[in-house]
């Protein structure tokens, strides 16, 4: 039986970690994820978990400690944001290449500079090709649920990759909303125990982890990582199915909101999906066939499935909450458009960079995106596919 | 563990390059990395036992019965010079390799 509660996104993530009761948590505080290790350290002090809490001196050390713990055979978790993730950068690649299923709670924040502590997705986008599974969460419930599923996905022997659970800084992490929690004992049963096949503290099998990987070997090891990432897609679906059987809450690779019969649609991730749903309900009342594709699984990128889900539309807008600064559109836009091209699905698509540095994105602004899409449908013309939403510009 | 070599297909390789057995460093001879060579002077050596514990490559053999150090194992000595530094009697001198 689920328990009705009201928690912030950070409390939701910390509560999931408490119920998972990992062997090791190593973390360094950084806004807006600070509360996660803060709450967790009180759980440790109050004896609610058996976890070894390592209060490291930097995020580089936080990830290093998690790597050491996982290689030793333990279950390790951490949390960070923005520049904390930037400082982990070197070890982020070590974690994935050593195939250690670490679980990281990433509370999305703009990577400085100029200095900004508010929400966008530039931190996550900076590590999008680092070999980590990346799940995005619209609200506190999804942050909680994704965290409960994380170990089952990452530790699967066909996967063995680290995973990060993303939620929007402040917008989700500091907003208190209703949530359904599961019983501790049920979580324990679902997550299960971690028994790695090979680990450093096994005295029956002395092993070496992370040896020099010269020209004859690194290529094949990278290809193994790529294969594991592909395999993760089915594992995510399988774990999500089992999760649904247990909790009744459904999760796929992405959520389609009124997309079936839609003519125009937005693709976005995290909390903006909530605003978009409200706008869609409004537009539907006015007879506008608007829809949404909210991506949950960003890595592995479900290109084929996304292309199929968007193929019937007359116009699509991809919303990127991080600017790739590359004169060729945001990362999500590039992923969606290249997937469509490869799948031979031709739909007019435009890109909007929005919400940078925590800039509010209102329902009014989302409505203008749907208006723009209707304009594209009516005229059949796209004057500029690379656009901004909510940016101040000089009147022309 | 199965033998892994430069012809092994990716499907047969261990993940992350993990090595699931101990003591296999001897399969990789690293002596040809050496640019400086330690020269052992048996007459100056007092068999004090300071040199072989500091050798990172275990390239100073010690007799099982007489417990005396022998000449270097040049299959593995990388010429780091730690042994020459630690020797109190000048029994090890570093010479440039190939001169």
Report the complex ipTM: 0.88
* Res B26: pLDDT: 83
Contact A177, A6 (CB under 8 A): yes
Q: What pLDDT is stored for residue A164 in this prediction?
A: 98
The answer to whether B88 faces chain A, any CB pair under 8 Å, is: no
| B17 lies in some domain | no
Question: Of the candidates B10, B20, B21, which has its C-beta nearest A224's C-beta?
Answer: B10
Instruction: State the alpha helices, DSSP H only, in A286-362.
Output: 303-310, 331-342
Assign residue B79 the CATH number of its domain. 3.30.70.20
Kindly state whether residue B81 falls inside one of the protein's structural domains.
yes
pLDDT digits over B21-33, tens only?
888 888 889 999 9
Q: Does A203 touch chain B (CB under 8 A)?
A: no
The interface residues of chain A toward chain B in range 128-167, judged by CB-CB distance below 8 A, are: 160
A188 membership: H or E segment, kind and range: helix A184-191
Query: What is the Cβ-side half-sphere exposure of residue A68, based on CA atoms within 13 angstroms?
Result: 11
| B28 CB within 8 Å of a chain A CB | no
Provide the number of CB pairs (under 8 Å) joining chain A to chain B. Answer: 48
Interface test with B, best of A102, A201, A221 (most B CBs within 10 A): A221
Mode of pairing for the β-strands spanning A24-27 and A76-80: parallel
Contact: A206, B9; criterion CB under 8 Å:
no
| SS3 per residue for A97-114 | HCCCCCEEEEEECCCCCC
Q: So what's the architecture of A3-247 in CATH? A: 3-Layer(aba) Sandwich (3.40)
Q: Which residues span the domain enclosing B46?
A: 29-96
Distance CA A312, CA A306 (A): 11
Architecture of domain A254-389: 3-Layer(aba) Sandwich (3.40)
Residue B70 φ/ψ, nearest 5 degrees: -105, -170
Closest-approach residue (CA) in chain B for A95: B16
Q: For A194-232, b where at least 16 C-beta lie within 10 A, e where not — what string?
A: bebebbbeeeeeebebeeeeeeebeebbeebbeebbebb
Determine, yes or no, domain membership for B56: yes
Q: Do domains A3-247 and A254-389 have the same CATH topology?
A: yes
The rounded distance, in Å, linking the Cα atoms of A166 and A179 is 17
Q: What is the pLDDT of residue A340?
A: 98
Give the contacts of A305 (CB within 8 A, at least 6 positions apart): A253, A254
Q: Is residue B52 part of a domain?
A: yes
Domain tally, chain B: 1
**Domain spans of chain A, in order of start:** 3-247, 254-389
Name the β-bridge partners of A7.
A177
Distance CA(A310)–CA(A306), nearest Å, equals 6
Confidence of residue B2 (pLDDT cuts 50, 70, 90): low
A328: left (phi over 0), alpha (psi -120 to 50) or beta: alpha
pLDDT in tens, chain A (396 residues): 799 999 999 999 999 999 999 999 999 999 999 999 999 999 999 999 999 999 999 999 999 999 999 999 999 999 999 999 999 999 999 999 999 999 999 999 999 999 999 999 999 999 999 999 999 999 999 999 999 999 999 999 999 999 999 999 999 999 999 999 999 999 999 999 999 999 999 999 999 999 999 999 999 999 999 999 999 999 999 999 999 999 999 999 999 999 999 999 999 999 999 999 999 999 999 999 999 999 999 999 999 999 999 999 999 999 999 999 999 999 999 999 999 999 999 999 999 999 999 999 999 999 999 999 999 999 999 999 999 999 999 988
Are the C-beta atoms of residues A80 and A30 closer than 8 Å to each other? yes
- Tell me the backbone φ, ψ of residue A284, rounded to 5 degrees: -60, -40
């Amino acid at each position: 039986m689920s328990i009705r509660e009201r928690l912030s996104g950070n409390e939701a993530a910390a509560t999931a970690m408490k119920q998972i009761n990992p062997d090791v948590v190593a973390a360094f505080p950084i806004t807006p994820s600070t509360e996660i290790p803060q709450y967790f350290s009180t759980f440790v002090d109050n004896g609610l978990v058996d976890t070894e809490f390592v209060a490291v001196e930097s995020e580089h050390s936080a990830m290093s400690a998690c790597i050491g713990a996982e290689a030793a055979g333990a279950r390790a978790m951490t949390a960070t944001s923005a520049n904390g993730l930037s400082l982990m950068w070197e070890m982020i690649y070590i974690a994935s290449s050593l195939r250690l299923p670490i679980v990281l709670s990433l509370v999305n924040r703009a990577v400085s500079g100029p200095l900004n502590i508010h929400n966008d997705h530039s931190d996550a986008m900076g590590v999008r090709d680092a070999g980590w599974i990346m799940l995005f969460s619209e609200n506190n419930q999804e942050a909680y649920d994704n965290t409960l599923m994380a170990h089952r996905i990452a530790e699967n022997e066909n996967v063995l990759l680290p995973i990060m659970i993303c939620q929007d800084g402040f917008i989700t992490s500091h907003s208190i909303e209703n949530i359904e929690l599961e019983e501790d004992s049920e979580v324990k049963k679902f997550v299960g125990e971690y028994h790695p096949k090979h680990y450093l503290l096994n005295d029956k099998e002395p092993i070496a982890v992370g040896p020099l990987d010269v020209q004859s070997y690194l290529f094949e090891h990278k290809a193994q990582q790529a294969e594991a990432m592909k395999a993760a897609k089915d594992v995510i679906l399988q774990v999500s199915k089992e999760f649904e059987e247990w909790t009744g809450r459904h999760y796929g690779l992405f959520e389609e909101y009124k997309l079936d019969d839609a003519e125009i649609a937005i693709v976005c991730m995290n909390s903006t999906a909530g605003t978009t749903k409200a706008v869609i309900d409004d537009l539907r009342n006015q007879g506008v066939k608007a829809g949404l594709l909210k991506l949950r699984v960003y890595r592995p990128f479900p290109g084929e499935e996304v292309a199929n889900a968007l193929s019937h539309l007359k116009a699509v807008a991809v919303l990127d909450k991080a600017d790739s600064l590359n004169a060729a559109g945001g990362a999500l836009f590039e992923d969606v458009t290249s997937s469509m091209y490869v799948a031979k699905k031709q739909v007019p698509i435009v890109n909007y960079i929005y919400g940078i540095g925590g800039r509010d994105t209102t329902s009014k602004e989302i409505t203008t995106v749907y208006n723009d899409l209707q304009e594209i449908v009516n005229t059949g013309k796209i004057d500029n596919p690379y656009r901004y939403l909510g940016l101040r510009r000089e009147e022309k | 563990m199965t033998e892994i070599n430069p012809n092994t297909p990716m499907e047969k390789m261990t993940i992350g390059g993990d090595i699931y057995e101990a003591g296999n460093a001897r399969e990789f001879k690293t002596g040809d990395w050496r640019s400086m060579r330690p020269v052992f002077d048996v007459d100056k050596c007092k068999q004090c036992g300071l040199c072989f514990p500091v050798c990172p490559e275990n390239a100073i053999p010690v007799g099982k019965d007489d417990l005396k150090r022998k000449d270097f194992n040049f299959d593995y000595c990388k010429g780091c010079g730690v042994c020459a530094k630690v020797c109190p009697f000048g029994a090890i001198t570093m010479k440039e390799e190939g001169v």
